[in-house]
Amino acid sequence: MAIKFPSLDFFQELANRMNANPAEFEKLGFCDTVMGVKVDGDTSHLYSLTFDIFDCSDVRELSSPEGAEFDFMLEAPLSLWRESLESIQKHGQPEPAYTLNSLSHVGDRMKVVYDDPEGHDKFYRFMATIQAFVNQASDLEIEWA
């Protein structure tokens, strides 16, 4: 069954897959961070993902980042999220130009919004886990908004 992107169901499915796959994520190590994912389009959507040790323990949709205690937030237009996910679906992992790091680095196609540099550094400290989390979408049937 197709899952809509962006949607709470999409991120909840990734969380379920992560929590059902301890072998991969325990090997990557502790991951403790709260991150935001913002998908900009005709209507913007904002999701909060809480990573706790080896799990994604909480996923929710927020109406605004006000009051959310994100370590960092990844913000990009829907078209870029789509390109990135399609690259993952095509290759099982993103091509070099579509890793979360690449997208958020030169050119700032994806913005990393943060307040505290330590929160910002968590994006890099847990990069392999966060990328593996997103890569789980490789075999999802996605219905694009």
Partner 1 sequence: MSYYGTNDFSYNSDFNLRVRDIKKGNLDFSWLDDARETVKVRRKDPRRGLTVEDCEVGPYSIENTPEIVRENRGLAPRGAILAEGSEQPDLGPSLNKKSDVWGYRVQRYWEEAMSRQWNVSTDVPWQDMDKHEIPDEVEIAFCQLCTLLSEVEMIATDLPAKWSHHMNSYFQEVKGFIATQAIDEARHAEVFRKRALAGAGLFRASVRGEHALKGILEADSYSEGSVFLHVLGEGFILTLFRSSEFISPTPVEQRMFQLVMQDEARHVSYGLQHLKYLMDNCPEVRPQINGFLDEAERHLTGLFNPDQLESMIVLGGKGTTPECIRHGIEVVGAFQGKQIEEYFHRAERAGLPERRERSPLLELQQRMIAGITG
Q: Could you list the residues that contact partner 1 (CB under 8 A)?
A: 28-30, 32, 53-54, 93, 95-96, 99, 101-102, 105-107, 116-118, 120-128, 131
Work out how close the CB of 61 gets to partner 1 at its nearest, in angstroms, rounded to a whole number: 27
Query: Least distance to partner 1 from the beta carbon of 28, Å?
Result: 7
Indicate the SS3 state at residue 95.
coil
Which residue, 6, 88, 2, 4, is CA-closest to 39?
Answer: 6
Amino acid present at 3 = I
What is the enclosing helix (H) or strand (E) of 144? strand 142-144
Closest to partner 1 by CB, 9 or 108: 108
Which of 5, 126 has the CB closer to partner 1? 126
Q: How far is the CB of 138 from partner 1 (least distance, A)?
A: 14
Between 17 and 120, CB nearer to partner 1 = 120
Given the complex with partner 1, which of 67 and 96 has the nearer CB atom?
Answer: 96
Residue placing its CB nearer to partner 1 in the complex, 67 or 107: 107
Exposed, middle or buried, 37 (CB in 10 Å: 0-12/13-18/19+)?
Answer: buried
Angle between helices 8-19 and 127-135 (to 10 degrees): 110
Q: How far is the CB of 15 from partner 1 (least distance, A)?
A: 16
- Please report how close the Cβ of residue 128 comes to partner 1 at its closest, in angstroms: 5
Reading the block at residue 83, the tokens are 């390109």
Dihedral, 108, 96, 3, 130 alpha carbons, nearest 10 = -70
Token pair of 117, please? Answer: 């540099």
